[in-house]
Structure 1
Amino acid sequence: MRLSTVILPIHRWSEGQKTWQRAEELGFHAAYTYDHLSWRTFRDGPWFGALPTLTAAATATERIRLGTLVTSPNFRHPVTLAKELMALDDISGGRITLGIGAGGNGFDATALGQEPWTPKERADRFAEFVPLLDRLLTEDAVTQRGTFYSADEARNIPGCVQRPRLPFAVAATGPRGLKLAARYGQAWVTTGDPKIFEEGTPEQSVAALRGQIEKLGKACADTGREVAELDKVLLTGFTPDRGRPLESVDAFVDFAGRHRELGFTEIVVHWPIPDSDFAADQRVFEQIATEALAQLG
């Protein structure tokens, strides 16, 4: 099992770069950031762009993988996103993973002046977005006419450092999204079942996640692919456990062990932010980063 972290882009780089460098020093497999224009309780405070932040992180680190959790069509277009990702993969020396999802109804959904899309509209756009992005990152020139997204002789030369392209980690729980994960993903991402976040139990969460993995397995089978080929990534902080796994090394080992048994290959924890939903003891957090995986055996 791998352990990774999410670093929210809330600090000026003069301060923020220290966090990304510390994540590498602690031995995290990857450091991700959210690709939002603003987000929830952080809306009225500092919030910087994901791709410039990752570009800076790529130049400030040497080994740790970097990526988004997650990018969505809410304010991205495949043609421009592909060009930026190709450059970012080059600058990082091939250390980028693109976490990608259909998006939601947060502030991003209306920031460009549009009406928020329905769940069906988001799924429709995502179903067109991902295949086009895949083509743009694997072919020198792409022309495609779509309902929502088009490309006209869009060029991405020389392509990604990682071949045939940088990996996609597809966030999905519904049938259409899982089908995209099975077809295009090198990894699958979930935050659990939002319906039981407030009042559910850890046991109910484990059962819900088991069900999601079973559905992913069916989607893979329908695509002619082995589900074991996909990494399975759990972004923590949105299950009924909330912050309890970060209360101690033992608590985290117990949490990670239960989810490894389900088939998860990567656990992602939020870098502590005082006075927020992601508050945690920094000392314990760093102890988890350096000691927990060894205790999993």
Structure 2
Amino acid sequence: MPAFQNITSSSIIFLLTGVPGLEAFHTWISIPFCFLYVTALSGNSLILFAVLTQPSLHEPMYYFLSMLSTTDLGLSISTLVTILGIFWFNTREISFNACLSQMFFIHLFTVMESSVLLAMAFDRFVAISNPLRYASVLTDFKIVQTGVAIITRGTLMLTPTVALLKRLSYCRSHVLHHSYCFHPNVMKLSCTDTRINSAVGLTVLISTAGVDSIFIILSYILIIKTVLSIASSEERKKAFGTCISHIGAVAIFYIPLISLSFVHRFGKQAPPYVHTLIANAYLLIPPVMNPIIYSVKTKQIRKAVLKILHSSMTKK
């Protein structure tokens, strides 16, 4: 296939990229990636199983945590095949439609994770500012409604974003800069006007992660205001302690996401390894770290996980 041939989108084959300049070491590089994927998949599956099977965790806070684990599992599974395929078998080719499908799910789970983090911030706000009404405000039905709204919001936002890529002509190099399909990366390979695509992509980013982050900050401003009004220093410490895990989850999600968006839009002169490093951090750090943070910082989750592990070991 000529590198600059203008052809129909359905017959386009994109070429994914591993770590530029280190192709000879891809087998060795795959080892830490395998470890990260195993950690992400097993950790999130364990937390999801714990929340579903342990009656003591059937509370709003842990239902939202199970949603977070589900989105992290989805994000990991969406990229596992292409990333490990490159490192193990040098399988770089991906069809246009397969690329769009992977892109849709990567961005969908990213938007969903942002929405879940916002819902968890609201959960902490209600629990701290009005604990007596906590159970009546966050009922099981409202939590289910929230989950449906999160899925619907992500789907409605991402469907036009991905569909608009089909209207473009791709006559430039078909080499992508990552080990997976990412909207700004695919869009830049087009030889036609992408201003509409860029505007829609930026609108989706601002109206999802941008708006969510603002409301999360506002939630914590109100939480801090409420906590500081508590007379007992011990109660203030306990209230802040319930937020530490969520603050950690917010930080490890938004920092790589914002960094990747800035690099794609403004870091054209950055070395290729910078793009690769940030792109993989954006995908792997949240799914790997969230189960660890919640297992270490949340006593109930830690006890439930240890109980499940102990039970499985005794059965053997």
TM-score range for the pair, normalised by the shorter chain length: under 0.3
Kindly name which structure, 1 or 2, has the bigger radius of gyration based on alpha carbons: 2
Query: As a proportion of its length, which structure holds more strand?
Result: 1
TM-score (norm 2): 0.25
Greater RCO (Cα-Cα under 8 Å, separation 6 or more): 2
Taking structure 1 as the reference length, the TM-score comes to: 0.26
